Structure formats: structure tokens, C-alpha cells
Amino acid sequence: DARVTQTPRDKVTEMGQEVTMRCQPILGHNTVFWYRQTMMQGLELLAYFRNRAPLDDSGMPKDRFSAEMPDATLATLKIQPSEPRDSAVYFCASGLGGLTGELFFGEGSRLTVL
Amino acid sequence: RKEVEQDPGPFNVPEGATVAFNCTYSNSASQSFFWYRQDCRKEPKLLMSVYSSGNEDGRFTAQLNRASQYISLLIRDSKLSDSATYLCVVPRGGSQGNLIFGKGTKLSVKP
């Protein structure tokens, strides 16, 4: 059963530390998304890739966040330095684009920055 | 108007009730819309797609009103297992790949 895999599932770190989250999209999917979810803001789009090319990262704080797809099987989201306000659940999702609108989400990475 | 706006609820209903949620959107160029379901501490999953005036799948009916720019989700004969948060989803700028999620409407079905 194909699924999006995210690591780590849970991460507790101290302010100022670097955090890297990884995602393995479903094989054959050409779109990859990073979302951040908090109670206050809901699901916020951070970055969007199509065929590994970044198409939209307007929702991502550029000074501390970076997103990359070094190859088709790996997407990374890095926060450096992390701050307490970055505490959230980070979801990676992949899809085929087009009209279906179906995104397949990973189980999320719960980040707590102390 | 926000890109996607939903009543956060919670909607507390008894089993067997019919419940409806609305969602308004700002981009009049959007052609397709989606409802996702998110269980507590889980990832969102696609529930229904809405491409024209509406879509029906068992107890669930989604309807689209383009003139007023809102979509609705109707759940009939609600079950305890329907308790979840329902997210309204709209493509940003007409792009089918880039989806914007509403903050969700929380539904709690009670025995």
C-alpha cells in the first residue's frame, strides 16, 4: 500500500537548533507539498514542488526555512535556527497534480521547540 | 474575503442527524473544489471532489454555488464515526496542483 513517509514523527529541540524533516513521496507522484498545521492557523502551505522544481514557497519564512528535493524520492524541510513559534505539525503530501485534487499526506512530524 | 473560509464549529449533533457545513472562497476562477476529512491527530484525507454543481457519495453530498462562491457538505444519518474535522479545499489561482485548505469545521456526533 503506497504511502507518504515522513521522519521524524516527533521532535523536541531547543531554540536555535537546526531541524531537518524528511519526506518520501509516493513513487510516481510529481507534486510534493509541505504544510504546517497549528490550532490557530490551520494548514498553511509552506512549499510546493512540481517535478522537483520549486513552484511556490511564498508561505515559507525565507530567513530560516528552506525546502529542497534532491531527488524524486526525497523532499526535505530545514529550519535553522529554530524558534518556539515554529512548534507545529509539519505535513508532507504528494499527488499527481491535474484535476483530481487528491493529495496523499504523510502522518506528519510533530515539532516542539523549547 | 479570505481565500477559503469555514465556520470552525464545533457542530455537536446526535446520531442520525443531518448536518451541513458551508465554505466560502474568494477566487472566482476556481473550477474544482474538495472536502478533506481529518481525524484527531491524524493526517487529512480526501473525502469528496466537486467539479460541477455537486457530487453525492452515499450519505455525503457536496454542492457548489458559483454565483455566491460557496460550497457545502451535507451529511445525512450521521454516525459516531463521522466525528472529525472537515476541511474545505480550493486550488490557488486556478492551479490544480496548489491547494489551499480552510481551517476546518469540527463535527462531533454523540450517541
- Which amino acid is residue B64, in one-letter code? L
| CB–CB contact B99 A101 (8 Å) | yes
Residue B91: closest CA among chain A residues belongs to which residue? A101
Which comes out higher in pLDDT, residue B92 or A15? A15
Where does the pLDDT of residue B1 fall: very low under 50, low under 70, confident under 90, or very high at 90 and above? Answer: confident
Site of grid cell 484527531: B40
Q: How many whole angstroms separate alpha carbon B74 and alpha carbon B92?
A: 24
User: Is residue A93 over pLDDT 60?
Assistant: yes
Using CA atoms, how far residue A72 sits from A50, A80, A94, B15, in Å, is 10, 24, 11, 45
Where does the pLDDT of residue B107 fall: very low under 50, low under 70, confident under 90, or very high at 90 and above? Answer: very high
CB-nearest to A97 from B96, B102, B104 is: B96
Tell me the chain B residues in contact with residue A56 when contact means C-beta distances shorter than 8 Å.
Answer: 92, 98
Cell numbers describing residue A55? 513552484
Q: How many whole angstroms separate alpha carbon B86 and alpha carbon B84?
A: 6
Tell me the chain A residues in contact with residue B2 when contact means C-beta distances shorter than 8 Å.
Answer: none
User: Is residue B8 over pLDDT 80?
Assistant: yes
Cβ pair A76, A68 in contact under 8 A: yes
Q: What is the mean pLDDT of residues A54-75?
A: 91
The whole-number pLDDT of residue B52 equals 79
User: Is residue B85 over pLDDT 90?
Assistant: yes
Residue A37, phi then psi, degrees to nearest 5: -125, 125
The whole-number pLDDT of residue B5 equals 93
| CB–CB contact A98 B97 (8 Å) | yes
Q: Closest by alpha carbon to A97, among A2, A24, A5, A26?
A: A26
User: Is residue B10 over pLDDT 70?
Assistant: yes
Q: Please give, rounded to a whole number of angstroms, the shortest distance from the CA of B106 to a CA of chain A.
A: 12
Element (H, E) at B34: strand B33-38
Of A55-64, B31-40, B58-67, minimum mean pLDDT range: A55-64
Where does the pLDDT of residue B35 fall: very low under 50, low under 70, confident under 90, or very high at 90 and above? Answer: very high
Cell numbers describing residue A59? 508561505
The whole-number pLDDT of residue A100 equals 62
CB-nearest to A95 from B44, B97, B100 is: B97
The whole-number pLDDT of residue B97 equals 59
Strand partners, A88: A111
| Mean per-residue pLDDT over chain A, rounded | 93
